[in-house]
Structure 1
C-alpha cells in the first residue's frame, strides 16, 4: 500500500510547476510515512472554522442558528434538498476543499494559511460563517470582529473590513463560477464597526458578462438599522491551469 501511494505521490511535482523543490520526497526516502499514516492524512477531515466556538458572542450564535436552521452544509455532488440556504464550510487553506487536500496541504507550501484563518486563538481576529442562496443569487456572512483587527481606537481596521468584503464576494463568485480572481473592488466606508461587535455582510450577484461577474455588497448592523459599508466587486473566472501558472 505504501509503495503504491509513494508511486502516485512521486508524480506530484509535475502537477505544481511553480514549486522550486520537489512536491514529494524521493520514493526511497526514509521520510515517507507508513501506509496507515498516509491513508489517515489523505482522508482525514480538516477543522471547519465556520462552526461555533467558545468566543462567539450571543448575537453571533443567534444569527448562526437562524441561518443554519434553514440550511444544509454545502457538499460536492449533493443536490439541493429544498432548503433556502446552504452553510459553506471554511478551512485554514482553500486547498483543503480538494479531494486529498489535507495531505496535499502538507506537501505544497505547507506553511501557507488562508489570511482570515491564520490565527489560532478563537475570537482574536476573523470569526465568520457564510451561507449562500444560489436560487436568489445571494450570500450572507455573519462576522464577529476580534481585538487584533483594531484600526481607529476601539474600532475595526478598514483593511480588515475590505478583506472580509473580498472574502464574502469572492466566495459568492466562486460558488457561481469557480475559480475566480478579483479584478476590481470599490468600497465606501460609512460608519465604523466597534471591535467585538457582530455585523452582517450581504452580497448580491448583479449581472454576468461572459467570464465577468459583478457583485454588490453591504455591511450592516445585525438589525439592519446601521449601514457600515457599501461595496461593488468585479470577478473574472479563470481556468485551474491559469491559477497554477501564477
Structure 2
C-alpha cells in the first residue's frame, strides 16, 4: 500500500498540474497506472484538495433541509437567468455566489500578504462541516432595491438553549445588508447597525433575512432588514443599517 501511495504522489509531482505560488511544474513523467480502487480514491481526494476550482457555498448541499430547498427552488425559478428571453412578469431575482475567501475574489485580485492570502477565511464560511453553522444563499432583485437571504441555522450557533445566538443573527443581518449595500455602491463598510430582537429562532430552522434599500445620501446608504419565518407570520428580528462608501486602498494600508 505504501508503494502504491508513493507512486500516486510521484504521479502528482510529475503531472504539471499543481500550483506553487505563481509558477507551475511542467515535467514529463512515465504514465501513472492506477490498478486498484483505493489508488483511484486517493487520487480523486488529492485532486479535490489541489483543485483550482473553488466551492460556491451558495449552492445546495446535503445538509439543506426541505424548507431551505423549497425556497431556493422558488427564487431560482424567478431568476433572471430562468426568465431570459421572456417578458418580465414581476419580480426577477439573481443568485449571488458565495466563497470562503474574500481577498482572492476582491476586485482586481487584491492580496495583502502570502500568510493572509493562505489563511484568511470569510467568517460565515470558515466551518468545514456542512450544516453545522451558517447555511445561506442570497438573491437580489434586478432593480437592486431588495435582497433576500434564505438562512438555515446550524447547531454550532446556539445561544439560549435550543435557539440561535443573538450574535449569529446580527452576523447574518450585517452580511445581508452589507452585501446589498455593496451592490448599490461598492465598496462599503458598516457604520451603524441597530437591532431589535423580537422572538428567538430555533436551531436548525430556516428563516428569511430580507433587506430593503431606504435611501442614499452621498456616500451613505440606509437599509432596513427583517428576519422572519419563511411564511412571514412571525417576526424574529428587525434592524436598521447604515453603510458608508470607502476607498478600498485605506483598508490595504491598514
- Common fold by TM > 0.5: yes
Partner of 2:251: 243
Partner of 2:217: 209
Partner of 1:125: 133
Partner of 1:34: 24
Q: Map 1:153-168; keep pairs closer than 5 Å.
A: 153-168=161-176
- Kept after mapping to 2: 8 A contact 1:147/1:195: yes
Mind listing any 5+ residue stretches in structure 1 that lack a counterpart?
A: 1-29, 38-42, 74-80
Q: Distance in 2 between matches of 1:226 and 1:141?
A: 16
- Kept after mapping to 2: 8 A contact 1:72/1:87: no
2:199 aligned counterpart, secondary structure: coil
Deviation at 1:105, TM superposition (A): 8.8
Closer/same/farther in 2, CA of residues 108 and 132 from structure 1, 3 Å limit? farther
Q: Map 1:129-148; keep pairs closer than 5 Å.
A: 129-135=137-143, 137-148=145-156
- Kept after mapping to 1: 8 A contact 2:176/2:211: yes
Q: Distance in 2 between matches of 1:90 and 1:185?
A: 22
Closer/same/farther in 2, CA of residues 86 and 197 from structure 1, 3 Å limit? same
- Higher Cα radius of gyration: 2
Q: Distance in 2 between matches of 1:245 and 1:187?
A: 31
2:104 aligned counterpart, secondary structure: helix
Deviation at 1:65, TM superposition (A): 0.4
- Kept after mapping to 2: 8 A contact 1:46/1:96: no
CA offsets 1:35-62 (integer angstroms, 9 cap, x no match): 569xxxxx93311000000000000000
Q: Distance in 2 between matches of 1:138 and 1:118?
A: 27
Q: Map 1:106-117; keep pairs closer than 5 Å.
A: 107=114, 109=116, 110-117=118-125
Closer/same/farther in 2, CA of residues 68 and 36 from structure 1, 3 Å limit? farther
Closer/same/farther in 2, CA of residues 85 and 200 from structure 1, 3 Å limit? same
1:232 aligned counterpart, secondary structure: strand
Deviation at 1:140, TM superposition (A): 0.1
Mind listing any 5+ residue stretches in structure 2 that lack a counterpart?
A: 1-19, 28-50, 82-86
Q: Distance in 2 between matches of 1:61 and 1:86?
A: 16
2:103 aligned counterpart, secondary structure: helix
Superposition TM-score, scaled by structure 2 size: 0.74
Partner of 1:195: 203
Closer/same/farther in 2, CA of residues 124 and 35 from structure 1, 3 Å limit? same
Closer/same/farther in 2, CA of residues 100 and 150 from structure 1, 3 Å limit? same
Q: Distance in 2 between matches of 1:108 and 1:87?
A: 31
Question: Would you say how many aligned residue pairs link Structure 1 and Structure 2?
Answer: 204
Q: Distance in 1 between matches of 2:115 and 2:104?
A: 11
Q: Distance in 1 between matches of 2:186 and 2:137?
A: 19
Partner of 1:234: 242
Closer/same/farther in 2, CA of residues 97 and 31 from structure 1, 3 Å limit? closer
Superposition TM-score, scaled by structure 1 size: 0.76
Q: Map 1:61-140; keep pairs closer than 5 Å.
A: 61-72=69-80, 84-98=92-106, 101=109, 107=114, 109=116, 110-135=118-143, 137-140=145-148
Closer/same/farther in 2, CA of residues 132 and 241 from structure 1, 3 Å limit? same
